[in-house]
Every structure is written in C-alpha cells, then in structure tokens.
Amino acid sequence: MKLDKNLNILIIGLGLLGGSYAKALKSQGFKVSAITKDKGDIEYALKENMIDYGTTEVDKTLIESADLIIFALYPKVFLDWIESYGNLIKEDTVVTDVTGVKGSIVYKVQESISAEFISAHPMAGREVCGVKNSNPEIFKGANYIVVPTDKNTEKGVEMCKALGDTLGFADVSVLGPEDHDKMIAFLSQLTHCIAVSLMCANDHPDLVRYTGDSFRDLTRIADINDEMWSELFLENKKALLDEMDSYREAFDKLYNHIKNGEREDMRQMMQLSSARRKLFGKRKTS
C-alpha cells in the first residue's frame, strides 16, 4: 500500500535520514516541507528540489497544516522538541519518527501529544551524516519497522506501513517497543560495540598494509557517529548490556577452549556458528 498522494508532509530535522525521506517523497510528487535548525540545510534542500518549503523557525501554521509529521532527530532532541512544542501539533495529524530505540521514546511521546504517534525505525544508517549525503537508495534492500503500542489505531499503523512502502524499503514489518529494542540491541548495537572495541584494542598502524577483507568488513561500522550512538546505547542500556553479557559468555567459552586445547569443543562452536550464519544469508540486493 502506498501513501495518499494528497498528504501534506512535514519533516522535522533534515539530516541523512530526514533528507533521504524528503528526496524520496518529493520525487514522487508529495508536498514536502521541512523544519531544521541550520539555514544552509534548508537552502541546500530547496536548491536540490527536495522540499517545497523550509524554515528554521518552529512555524505554527506549517505544523498545523501538516497531515503527517516525520521527526528525524536524535532521541533526546526529539523528546525536547516534543516537550517544548508538542502542543502545536493538531489532534488529527499523524506523527512518526526514525529513532533507533523505542522503549524510552514511544510511551513518552504518546503521553505528551494529543495527535497519534506511530513510531517507526528505518534500518538504513550509513557511516556518513548530514543532508548533503542523503540518498533514497539507502532504503533499497533495507528493513522498515513499525513499532506500535496499545494506543495506536489500525489506521495509524497502516499509514506508517504505507510510508515505509512508499519510501522504497524492501521489507516492512511490525514489532512492539520491547521486542524492537531487544532485536536492535543484538543485531545493531552489539555489533557496533564489538567493532569499536576491536579498533580500541590495539594500536597497530603498521598493520594497515596487511588488512584483509574480513577485518575490513568487520570494522566497517567502527567509523561511528559518537554523538548519536552514545545516546542510542544509553537509551537502550538494559537490553544492550544483556546482549553484551550473552556475547561475552560465548567469547569466554571459545577463549577457554583455545586455552585448554579443546579442539572438538571449538569445532562444535564453529559448526553452530556456520549453521546459524547460513540462515542469515548474503547481503540483500533490491
């Protein structure tokens, strides 16, 4: 299902994701406006024909005329915005977001505004940030997760799914906030913790010349946006620490097998690893 073409869409925060949303929607004929803090980003987005209108002001009329508001801000900035200006959002507007953690966000926002807030997580990050790097191609082959609570309506959920479809995501699915946070802790946050730890473990600039594909692939995400990820880690602390504990337990088990020369036990872990990895398959292509 695609989004109704007559919707007035307002994007708040023109970064990598907000900009990519804007590009994808404007190119399909939607009316797209934006509020963002940097004037240069508005000028860039207008020049690139990514938006119809943009402002750095919290423009009451613009907010009231939006049928769909998409927040593309970091978690804390998003919560602060809602606290300060959430009352400007009309009751019949639908509000969504792109935040990478949910438990600490969704309920607070739903309690703070009268409009329906239907949360979503577009799993399409990149190592780069900012509106100038925005590109709807990052949605191809990626997952879009709609994260409703008991407070959401079927209409809100369907509209949010339609947004994911319209943006060009390969897979649109639905998960509750707690399941989402557990999943993201394991699949995304833990992998970033691992890559960062590996890069911090050893200062071997002389090793660059010997780096193979396995090291490069494993540490691709080690070039990390520290402002955003430190916030995401802390906002999902409990689930992340649980996954870090499970992982460290497996790592220590392998360590002890190596230390004790327990080859058959090592091989069993490797066989389990291979069998599970085969399920995950290769990189999706659109």
Q: How far is the CB of 61 from its own copies (least distance, A)?
A: 37
Q: How far is the CB of 273 from its own copies (least distance, A)?
A: 4
Q: How far is the CB of 195 from its own copies (least distance, A)?
A: 7
Nearer to its own copies, 157 or 194 (CB): 194
Nearer to its own copies, 47 or 204 (CB): 204
User: Among 32, 19, 99, 37, which residue's Cα sits nearest to residue 67?
Assistant: 32
State how far Cα 192 lies from the chain centre: 13
Quote the tokens at residue 211: 């780096």
Nearer to its own copies, 31 or 161 (CB): 161
| HSE toward the beta carbon, residue 206, CA cutoff 13 A | 0
d(CA 129, CA 131): 7
The b/e string for 223-253 (b: 16+ C-beta within 10 A; e otherwise) is: eebeeebebbbebbeebbeebbeeeeeeeee
Cβ-Cβ contacts under 8 Å for 82 (sequence gap 6 or more): 108, 109, 112, 113
Q: How far is the CB of 205 from its own copies (least distance, A)?
A: 6
The b/e string for 81-94 (b: 16+ C-beta within 10 A; e otherwise) is: bbeeebeebeeebb
Q: How far is the CB of 266 from its own copies (least distance, A)?
A: 4
State how far Cα 113 lies from the chain centre: 22
Angle between helices 226-235 and 75-85 (to 10 degrees): 80
d(CA 6, CA 235): 36
Nearer to its own copies, 154 or 201 (CB): 201
Q: How far is the CB of 77 from its own copies (least distance, A)?
A: 15
Nearer to its own copies, 69 or 244 (CB): 244
Nearer to its own copies, 91 or 226 (CB): 226
Q: How far is the CB of 183 from its own copies (least distance, A)?
A: 5
Nearer to its own copies, 151 or 284 (CB): 284
Nearer to its own copies, 72 or 142 (CB): 142
**How many C-beta atoms surround the C-beta of residue 115 within 10 A?**
18
Q: How far is the CB of 22 from its own copies (least distance, A)?
A: 22
d(CA 152, CA 132): 34
